[in-house]
Amino acid sequence: MEIDDMRDDEEDRDFNTFRLIDKEIKIVSLISKDGDSYVVKCPHCGHIIGVEGEDSTEVRGSQYQHKRCGGWFQVNYTARFVKELE
């Protein structure tokens, strides 16, 4: 019973959960723009984050690490540009 209780506590801490998967590189298939910067939705935690890149050809195919959750992702070469990310 004590072990189950501890596990429940850890699930509430997003940081711990994401540390377990931060080595996995996930693929992002949608990109958007916020002002002058390209933005994507982090596939690990769901936050919208800005990514470096002069244009969409530079963003596509690039790998980034989301500092906040530590998760790596790669923007798909065929990532679709959308006006707004959900």
Binding residues (CB under 5 A) for Zn ion: these are 42, 44-45, 66, 69, 71
SS3 7: helix
Q: Kindly state the smallest distance separating residue 63's Cβ from Zn ion, in Å.
A: 14
Nearer to Zn ion, 25 or 57 (CB): 25
Q: What's the start-to-end Cα distance of the chain, in Å?
A: 39
Nearer to Zn ion, 60 or 69 (CB): 69
Nearer to Zn ion, 60 or 71 (CB): 71
Measured between alpha carbons, how far is 56 from 46 in angstroms, rounded to an integer? Answer: 21
27 bridge partner residues: 74
Q: Kindly state the smallest distance separating residue 41's Cβ from Zn ion, in Å.
A: 9
The DSSP bridge pattern shows strands 37-41 and 25-34 to be antiparallel
Q: Kindly state the smallest distance separating residue 23's Cβ from Zn ion, in Å.
A: 14
